[in-house]
């Protein structure tokens, strides 16, 4: 299977075996390996083998493959590490916290009080504003 690649991309280098990783699994379209800056023990990444930067660029079937791989890793984390929770996190663009522009899903085992700053406190929105943005989104679907 051929994939788009970017010679300067760190994840493309890992996919190509030019950089080392702690590999968990690999299939035709995806690879999963440990994050080397873990927020918690077991923090891993499910990564498309092809170089697509973001969720709007990647083909839907490959995104589904990455999601399947993330689920496999999450199930292994639940079984092997018994976390109190797991987050799947996927960032697109620097403003969203993306540092590697090659699509990946973080699998983050969580514990209460672990101070990983992902969680927010819900504050009710203005229903008119919510409806207006919903209308914009529906027009773009
Ligand atoms: P994001 O900030 O969502 O783009 O996530 C990129 C993640 O890749 C970060 O959590 C980094 O710690 C991780 N990372 C960067 N380089 C490597 C590498 N060579 N091996 C494993 N993980 C990496
Ligand atoms: Zn890449």
pLDDT tens per residue, range 75-104: 999 999 999 999 999 999 999 999 999 999
Predicted model pTM: 0.96
43 is a catalytic site residue? no
Please give the full DSSP string across 49-103, using - where no structure is assigned: SS---STTTS-HHHHHHHHHHHHHHHHHHHHHH--SEEEEE---SGGGT--S-S-
User: What distance in Å separates the CA atoms of residue 108 and residue 79, rounded to the nearest whole number?
Assistant: 14
Return mean pLDDT, the chain.
Answer: 96
Give residue-wise pLDDT tens across range 120-139.
899 999 999 999 999 999 99
Question: Which ligand number lies closest to the CA of residue 12?
Answer: 2
pLDDT at 120: 85
pLDDT at 136: 96
pLDDT at 119: 83
Confidence check: pLDDT of 1 > 90: no
Query: What percent helix, strand, coil does the chain show, rounded to 5?
Result: 30, 20, 50
User: What distance in Å separates the CA atoms of residue 61 and residue 29, rounded to the nearest whole number?
Assistant: 10
Q: Is the CB of 36 under 6 A from ligand 1?
A: yes
10-140, CATH topology level: HIT family, subunit A (3.30.428)
More confident residue, 72 or 117: 72
Q: Which residues contact 2 (CB under 8 A, 6 or more apart)?
A: none
Catalytic residue among 43, 51, 102, 104: 104
Residue in 18, 37, 108 to alter for ligand 1 test, most ligand atoms within 8 A of Cβ:
37
């Amino acid at each position: 299977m051929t994939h788009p690649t970017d010679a300067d991309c760190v994840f493309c280098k890992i996919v190509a075996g030019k950089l080392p990783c702690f590999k968990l699994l690999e299939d035709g379209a995806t690879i999963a390996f440990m994050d080397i800056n873990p927020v918690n023990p077991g923090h891993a990444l499910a990564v498309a083998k092809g170089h697509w930067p973001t969720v709007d660029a990647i083909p839907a079937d490959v995104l589904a493959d990455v999601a399947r791989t993330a689920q496999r890793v999450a199930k292994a984390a639940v079984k092997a590490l018994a976390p109190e929770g797991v987050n799947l996190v996927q960032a697109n663009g620097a403003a969203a916290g993306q540092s590697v522009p090659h699509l990946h899903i973080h699998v983050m085992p969580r514990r209460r009080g672990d101070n990983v700053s992902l969680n927010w406190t819900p504050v009710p929105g203005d229903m008119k504003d919510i409806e207006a943005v919903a209308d914009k989104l529906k027009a773009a679907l």
